[in-house]
Amino acid sequence: MKRLYILLAVLFLVLVGCAPKTDTIRQVNVYSARNYDVDKDMLVAFEAETGIKVNLIEGKGDELLERINREKADSVADVFMTVGAENISFAQQNDLLENLDTSGFAAFMDDRLFGQNWVAITQRARVIVYDKTRIINPTIETYEDLLDPQFKGKLLVRSATSSYNVALLAAMIQREGVEKATVWAQGMVNNFARVPTGNDRDQAKSAVAGIGDYAIMNTYYIGTMSVSSDAEEVAVAAKLGVIYPKNTHVNISWAAIVKGSKNPSEAQQLIEYLLAKPQQTIYTQKNGEFPIRKDVPASDLILSWGSFEAEDIDFEQLGTTMIEAVKIFDQVKWQ
């Protein structure tokens, strides 16, 4: 009888060991180049609402993509998020993106904002700004108008190494061709107020300080400066006038499921969460970005700048003209 009890106990332990586990933790690993507090807060909220644990790795977009490329034999990442469409072509050419269900996206966003296994999550416009307390009724209507000799010594821009500027010129190459893009870059250099330096916030501050008259910057920075803890930035943002040029260049943040993701359903769920109305409202109200949803209005600050027509470019092909853009910057000595 004792032997029978022992056999039954062993059998019980074996059966318990073979039983399916019900306490498996659902998770999603996110590689993100969107290193903003608003994004971190959203990921925390997603985890709380869904019970899906979010593991966040932050870095620069190109570096994270290279890491994904190295890891693709045994993928660690589930979701990749970055700023700038120029990386889409690299990701596609290297087969780094997993199937993303975009079937429902057309119901609330333009089809230019999603494509083969990627989707935009926010938009920003690259605009021309000026001190509206000093310059009244500016006549600039296009990026090309900045080349007018009357603006010699009056233009403020970031350096040629700025990904925003490279993307702007790459888009111009795609839309207008290399020759026109080169003429534009050379004309800009001819009218620089100083050697390009600093970030977008610095261009705005310099325009208000009178170092130059017109600066090129992303709308996102105006939004964040307007709610900054730095009183100087708030004051500068309040003085900025915004010009949307014809064929306004728009850069996007985008997200995708990584090829070989071990948690693809959780990855899809997270991306759809970021595209939902509440999150899109947060992006525009708290981070100064344009929502991608047609049914979510932009913030009051953004709406105060008026409307614009975005340039017609193929985001998936933007990366293919980036090298040419860098060559042009070097050729015209845009430092």
Per-residue pLDDT of 38-58, as tens digits, reads 999 999 999 999 999 999 999
More confident residue, 34 or 14: 34
Predicted local distance difference test score (pLDDT) of residue 186: 98
Q: Half-sphere exposure of residue 30, counting CA atoms within 13 Å on the CB side?
A: 30
Q: What contacts 303, CB < 8 A, 6 or more positions away?
A: 297
Distance between CA atoms of 117 and 163, rounded to whole angstroms?
Answer: 23
pLDDT in the model for residue 162: 96
CB atoms near residue 200 (< 10 Å): 23
Average pLDDT score over residue span 244-262: 97
Report yes or no: 118 and 255 within 8 Å, Cβ to Cβ. Answer: yes
Q: List Cα–Cα distances, 258 to 86, 117, 271, 278, in angstroms.
A: 17, 9, 12, 25
Q: Using alpha carbons, list the distances in angstroms from residue 280 to 34, 199, 218, 284, 286.
A: 15, 26, 18, 7, 10
Q: Residue 7 has what pLDDT?
A: 46
Domains of the chain by range and CATH? 27-123+250-303 (3.40.190.10), 126-249+315-331 (3.40.190.10)
- pLDDT number for residue 8: 42
DSSP 5-48: HHHHHHHHHHHHHHSPPS-PPPEEEEEES---HHHHHHHHHHHH
Band of the pLDDT at 23, cuts 50, 70, 90?
low
Instruction: Read off the pLDDT of residues 69-122 as tens digits, 9 standing for 90 and up.
Output: 999 999 999 999 999 999 999 999 999 999 999 999 999 999 999 999 999 999
pLDDT of residue 6: 45
User: Residue 79 forms beta bridges with which residues?
Assistant: 30, 257
Residue 53: alpha-carbon gap to chain centroid: 24
- The overall average pLDDT reported for the chain is 93
- C-beta of residue 120 within 8 angstroms of C-beta of residue 253: yes
Q: What is the pLDDT of residues 160-210, one digit of tens each?
A: 999 999 999 999 999 999 999 999 999 999 999 999 999 999 999 999 999
pTM over 0.85, yes/no: yes
